[in-house]
Amino acid sequence: MSVLPVVICGDPVLHHPTEPVAEAEVGTEQFGTLIADMYETLDLAHGVGLAANQVGVSKRLFVYNCPDIDGPDGTRKTGADIDAQGGPMRRGCLINPVLETSEIPETMPDEEDDVEGCLSVPGYDFPTGRADWARVSGLDEHGDPVTVEGYGFFARCLQHEVGHLDGYLYIDTLIGRNKRAAKKTVKREGWTVAGNSWTPGVDPDPFGHDE
């Protein structure tokens, strides 16, 4: 396995919809290597999700390793619920995902509870409005049909990653002062052009996990 550089916002690969994965690609050695490398990169970056175009590959797939401990209406799962779900962490790959969600709020997101970050906007986070529930259907890395769904943070992760594959970043969905702050940040960092990236495990962790 290899660690891949994570592309930073401003690169065109992050701002155009990705190409569907062809059936013939699934299960090939090359495709399997890409998925394994994405898992390795995600783990070293301490992220919860990684889309293929974030590593420069314009294909419709993402991997995730995300906590799933939120229930409906802001409740927290009990120990029994977590066991029934296979543990508090959800890990997997989704190829050609199709997203369904509950209603997305139009009000200003909470400054603490709705904060969201992204490996392609390294070192920053902003309050982001998301639907409380999401379900994604597609194929797993073996080409078998799979559907995953969840609430709260896991639902946020699913929406975030499908957004990448549709050609936009979470900062594109921001509103009000959060949108203005993100635009200023991107301009200040020089993330308006192609070619910027960082490599987990090589470059300092922009979110401070190495400290």
Catalytic residues: 161
Has 66 been labeled as part of a binding site?
no
DSSP state string for the chain: ----PEEPTTSGGGSSPPBPPPTTTTT-HHHHHHHHHHHHHHHHHT-SEEEGGGGT--BSEEEEEEE--B-GGG-B--HHHHHHTTSSEEEEEEEEEEEEESPPP-SPPPTTTTEEE-TTSTT-EEE----SEEEEEEE-TTS-EEEEEEEHHHHHHHHHHHHHHTT--GGGG--HHHHHHHHHHHHHHTTTSTT-EE-TTTSPPTTSTT-
Has 160 been labeled as part of a binding site?
yes
Q: Contact at 8 Å (CB) between 174 and 182?
A: yes
Has 118 been labeled as part of a binding site?
yes
Q: Count CA within 13 A, CB hemisphere, residue 141.
A: 17
Q: Can you say which residues are annotated as belonging to the binding site for Fe cation?
A: 118, 160, 164
> Which residues make up each annotated binding site?
118, 160, 164
